[in-house]
């Protein structure tokens, strides 16, 4: 399995390492031609404004949209989730618009802008998942095509799936628990 990790900015190395630990071939992606021959793509956390601008500059937006429309699996984490959303409040830059979700950036405010908590995520099994939130977004709205995979105890949706596109508000690549990446690789291999 060959999985690309968008490497323009942000926490891409940690995703590459998680994929390698799961014996997948992980390839950094900077240019549209590097999307060729991939079975899936991860868009990492980082700064969504920067990633959006760089994706436009590197002419990656439309090629990634075209792949997704043909059923190509994509995982977006944190800023990556923002890039996947169809709607983002107070965000004037381009997104891929591949998930029918409305996302709020920096949803936890300054006081608690980063925290870690155990979340229930039945798709990963019974054991709670240790989720790391760093200036994280939340999913404010999702339509019926979207399956919410995890919520915080206050009800905020923080992980979701639509077709073969998966998103999390937290950073699964920053823990040793590989279940989230394995879940995405299962989506990839079911292609």
Residues within window 101-120 making contact with ligand GLN, judged by CB under 6 A: 105-106
Is the Cβ–Cβ distance between 12 and 174 less than 8 Å? no
Taking CB under 6 A as the rule, does residue 135 contact ligand GLN? yes
Closest CA to 129 of 161, 165, 170: 170
Closest CA to 148 of 175, 122, 125: 122
Nearer to ligand GLN, 49 or 100 (CB): 49
Taking CB under 6 A as the rule, does residue 79 contact ligand GLN? yes
Q: What is the DSSP string of 19-51?
A: HHHTT-EEEEE-SGGGGTT-SEEEE-SS-HHHH
Binding mask 10-49 for ligand GLN (x = CB under 6 A): -----------------------------------xxxx-
- List residues near ligand GLN by CB under 6 A: 45-48, 78-79, 82, 105-106, 134-135
Task: Point out the residues that are catalytic.
Answer: 78, 171, 173
């Amino acid at each position: 399995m060959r999985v690309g990790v968008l490497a323009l900015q942000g926490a891409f190395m940690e995703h590459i390492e998680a994929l390698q630990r799961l014996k997948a071939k992980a390839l950094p992606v900077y240019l549209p031609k590097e999307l060729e021959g991939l079975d899936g793509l991860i868009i990492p956390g980082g700064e969504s404004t920067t990633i959006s601008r760089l994706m436009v500059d590197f002419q990656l937006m439309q090629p990634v949209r075209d792949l997704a429309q043909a059923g190509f699996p994509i995982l977006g984490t944190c800023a990556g989730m923002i890039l996947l959303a169809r709607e983002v409040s107070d965000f004037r830059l381009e997104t891929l618009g591949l998930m029918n979700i409305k996302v709020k950036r920096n949803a936890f405010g300054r006081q608690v802008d980063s925290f870690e908590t155990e979340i229930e995520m039945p798709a990963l099994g019974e054991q709670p998942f240790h989720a790391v939130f760093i200036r994280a977004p939340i999913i404010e709205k999702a339509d019926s095509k979207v399956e919410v995979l995890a919520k915080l105890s206050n009800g905020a949706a923080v992980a979701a799936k639509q077709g073969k596109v998966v998103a999390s508000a937290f950073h699964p690549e920053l823990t040793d628990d590989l279940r989230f990446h394995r879940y995405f690789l299962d989506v990839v291999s079911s292609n």
